Structure formats: C-alpha cells, structure tokens
C-alpha cells in the first residue's frame, strides 16, 4: 500500500485535539480529521461519559457556605442529574458522588473558592494567527484580586499512572493552551491545576507525625505574562505538525494503545497490520506442526518449477520414463 499523502488545514483546534494527536497521529488523522471510525458510545459507564457526568455534578450540584465550612455535593441535585443521564447503576452513582466529594474537599478546589471571581465552563476562542484559532472550554476559572488566573480542570479516570512524570507531561499541551488564553486576556500570571479525584494518593505525614488522609492526585503548572510569545509559537508548531498527521511517524505511539484500544483498520496503519500478522503466526505455526509437508495448491507453481519435487505419496519418476 502506498503511504497516505495529505495535508489538512486546521483553522480551529482544541486542547483535546492536540491530546488525540499526541496519542497517535494516525488515529487522529483517521478519527478526527477524516471523521471516520466507530460510532459514539452512549453508555453512561463508558469512561468519556462518566467524565462528562462528573463534570455536570461539579458544575451544578455543589453547595458552598455549609455548616461544616467546606463545600458539599448536593446529593438531591446529583440524583436528578444521574436520572437525566441514565446512570442507573447504584455502584456507579456512589463512585461518581465520591469523586465529586473528593474534588470539592481538595486543596485545589478550596484554592478556586478563594478567588475573587469564578467562572465555570468558560468558553474561549483565541486567534493564534491569520488562519488558526484555539477553541475550547475550561472547567473552572478563578481570578485573584491582582488578576492572576487560577484554572482547575477535572480529569476523570481511575487508572493509576505507572509514571506520574509521564502523565504530567501529557497535560502540558492543555496547560499551555489554557495559559495562553488567560495571559492573552490580560492576566499577569496563570496557574493551571489538573485534578484526578478518582485517583487518591498518599498525603504523607503532618508535622505531628500522624498520617494525613489521602488526597486526589493533582498536577500543577505556572506561567507568567512573559511566556505568551513562546506559548503561541509552541502551539502553532504543534498545529503545523497536526496538519501533516496523515504522514506523521507512529514510532513513538504507546504500543499498549495499539494493541488494546485502537480501532483503526489495518489497511490504514502498518503497526496494526504488523499486530494482525503476529496474531496470525501462531495459527500458521500450528497448521505447519500438524502438516509438515503441505501439498501445494493445484494452481501453485512449486519454487523449483516442478523438477525433482517430491509430493507426499509419490516418487520422482526417473529421466526417460514414459507417461504411466
Ligand atoms: S494501531 Fe497504533 S499506530 Fe496504528 S493507528 Fe492505532 S494507535 Fe496509531
């Protein structure tokens, strides 16, 4: 198969587009740019949908100013949202409520509540150059009295990262996008925090030596107004790469993704074809073990053109022997 040669202009790009591209340029090309691939899975238990429902609860079912002094999840409102989104499994409801509660009790959320102004589900559309725009939503944005932006992003998912530094690096593009939006809007500084309320990590010990309760895993990034030019350049560079996604290398793609999750057909991707061939090999080996001298198909020309070939149950005829 000849390789695909195609450049696609991307006038509007979001941080999640960049994430998809980073995961695999070829699947980004196929699913996002070609709009091909699997139908949307509406199952509320699917990871993406669980994430949306968690976001909805954090957006619409948080009570502040409670007797305890901490924000709390309004379970009645959350129950209505679960009903609307057809989250019927009590175990899933309990997990989502726990994740939401962990979020609103976290230091990251309390930092948000300390801001002078707070906006939720903040939409943005930022012009990068004559032909490119950055678009998207931020889960929650707060501004301190000095204008510093504090952006909190909720990350659903229960998978514990093998290497937290690699996971942190995977959030860098999204943090860059949010920071550029905030700084371009006039904020003197921007802090971006990603919180994973379904992954609780050890908090260490308090000064008195007693163990602190576990807390949600968080990853934070800080930027200053002087970073704007570098951020803009970095994001434009990655968009340039994305526009060439059809021919980008897949060498760096995590092979676990290829093997376990990718639905891209083998005719589109050589890596997928190689996996398919690997899977075929044990079956072919078994067949070879069962039948060490396979008979060539009738139409098949043997490698030596037929001379001296010994088929099972037949002997080569001596030179000069007539037709039986
Ligand atoms: S098999 Fe791997 S390299 Fe190929 S499209 Fe899927 S994720 Fe990308």
In tens, the pLDDT along 165-182 reads 999 999 999 999 999 999
Q: Give yes or no for residue 270 CB within 6 A of ligand 1.
A: no
| Tens of pLDDT, residues 51-85 | 999 999 999 999 998 888 889 999 999 999 999 99
| 259 alpha carbon – ligand 1 mean position (Å) | 8
Q: Provide, rounded to the nearest whole percent, the portion of the chain with pLDDT above 90.
A: 58
Q: Is residue 229 part of a domain?
A: yes
Q: How confident is the model at residue 316 (pLDDT cuts 50, 70, 90)?
A: very low
Q: Is residue 222 part of a domain?
A: yes
* 252 touches 265 (CB < 8 A): no
Indicate which residue's Cα is closest to atom 7 of ligand 1: 258
More confident residue, 233 or 2: 233
pTM, full prediction: 0.82
Q: How confident is the model at residue 261 (pLDDT cuts 50, 70, 90)?
A: confident
Q: Give yes or no for residue 50 CB within 6 A of ligand 1.
A: no
Residue-level length of the chain: 324
Q: Is residue 84 part of a domain?
A: no
| 74 alpha carbon – ligand 1 mean position (Å) | 42
Q: Give yes or no for residue 250 CB within 6 A of ligand 1.
A: yes
Nearest ligand 1 atom to the CA of 262 is 6
**CA separation for the pair 292, 290 (Å, rounded):** 6
Q: Is residue 205 part of a domain?
A: yes
Q: Is residue 128 part of a domain?
A: yes
Q: How confident is the model at residue 313 (pLDDT cuts 50, 70, 90)?
A: very low
| 52 alpha carbon – ligand 1 mean position (Å) | 26
| 172 alpha carbon – ligand 1 mean position (Å) | 22
pLDDT over threshold 50, residue 37: yes
Helix (H, G, I), strand (E, B) or coil at 96: helix
More confident residue, 44 or 261: 261
Q: Is residue 16 part of a domain?
A: no
Q: Is residue 225 part of a domain?
A: yes
More confident residue, 55 or 48: 55
pLDDT over threshold 90, residue 283: no
Number of folded domains in the chain?
A: 1
**CA separation for the pair 321, 318 (Å, rounded):** 6
Joined together, the tokens standing for residue 278 give: 């690997």
pLDDT over threshold 60, residue 4: no
Ranges of beta strands (E only) in the chain are 12-14, 62-63, 72-73, 117-127, 133-143, 149-154, 189-201, 215-224
Range of the domain at 184: 115-240
| 235 alpha carbon – ligand 1 mean position (Å) | 23
Mutate which of 20, 34, 253, 254 for ligand 1? The one with the most ligand atoms within 8 Å of its CB, which is 253
| Window from 33-37, 104-108, 176-180, 311-315 with minimum mean pLDDT | 311-315
What was the pLDDT predicted at 38? 63
**CA separation for the pair 189, 267 (Å, rounded):** 47
Number of Cβ atoms within 10 Å of the Cβ of 68: 7
Q: Is residue 27 part of a domain?
A: no
Residues whose CB is less than 8 angstroms from the CB of residue 166 and which lie 6 or more positions away in sequence, other chains included: none
């Amino acid at each position: 198969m000849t390789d695909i040669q195609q450049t696609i202009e991307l006038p509007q790009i979001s941080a999640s587009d960049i994430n998809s591209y980073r995961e695999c340029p070829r699947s980004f090309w196929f699913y996002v740019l070609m709009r091909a691939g699997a139908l949307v899975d509406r199952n509320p238990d699917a990871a993406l949908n669980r994430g949306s429902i968690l976001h909805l609860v954090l957006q619409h079912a948080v009570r502040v100013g409670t007797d305890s002094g901490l924000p709390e999840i309004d379970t009645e409102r959350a129950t209505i949202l679960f009903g609307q989104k057809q989250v019927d499994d009590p175990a899933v409801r309990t997990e989502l409520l726990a994740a939401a509660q962990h979020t609103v009790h976290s230091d990251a959320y309390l930092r948000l509540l300390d801001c002078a102004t707070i906006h939720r589900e903040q939409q943005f559309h930022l012009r990068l150059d004559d032909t490119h725009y950055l678009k998207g939503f931020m889960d929650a944005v707060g501004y301190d009295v000095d204008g510093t932006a504090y952006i909190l992003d909720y990350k659903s998912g229960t998978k514990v990262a093998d290497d937290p530094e690699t996971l942190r690096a995977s959030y860098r593009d999204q943090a860059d996008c949010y920071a550029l939006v905030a700084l371009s809007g006039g904020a003197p500084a921007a802090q971006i925090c990603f919180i994973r309320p379904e992954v609780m990590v050890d908090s260490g010990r308090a000064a008195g030596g007693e163990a602190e309760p576990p807390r949600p895993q968080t990853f934070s990034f800080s930027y200053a107004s002087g970073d704007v030019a570098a951020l803009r350049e970095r994001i434009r560079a990655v968009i340039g790469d994305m526009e060439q996604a059809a021919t980008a290398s897949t060498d760096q793609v995590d092979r676990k993704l290829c093997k376990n999750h990718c639905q891209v057909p083998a005719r589109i991707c050589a890596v997928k074809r190689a996996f398919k061939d690997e899977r075929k090999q044990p079956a072919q080996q078994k067949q070879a073990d069962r039948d060490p001298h396979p008979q060539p198909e009738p139409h098949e020309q043997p490698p030596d053109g037929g001379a001296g070939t010994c088929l099972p149950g037949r002997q080569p005829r001596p030179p000069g022997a007539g037709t039986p």
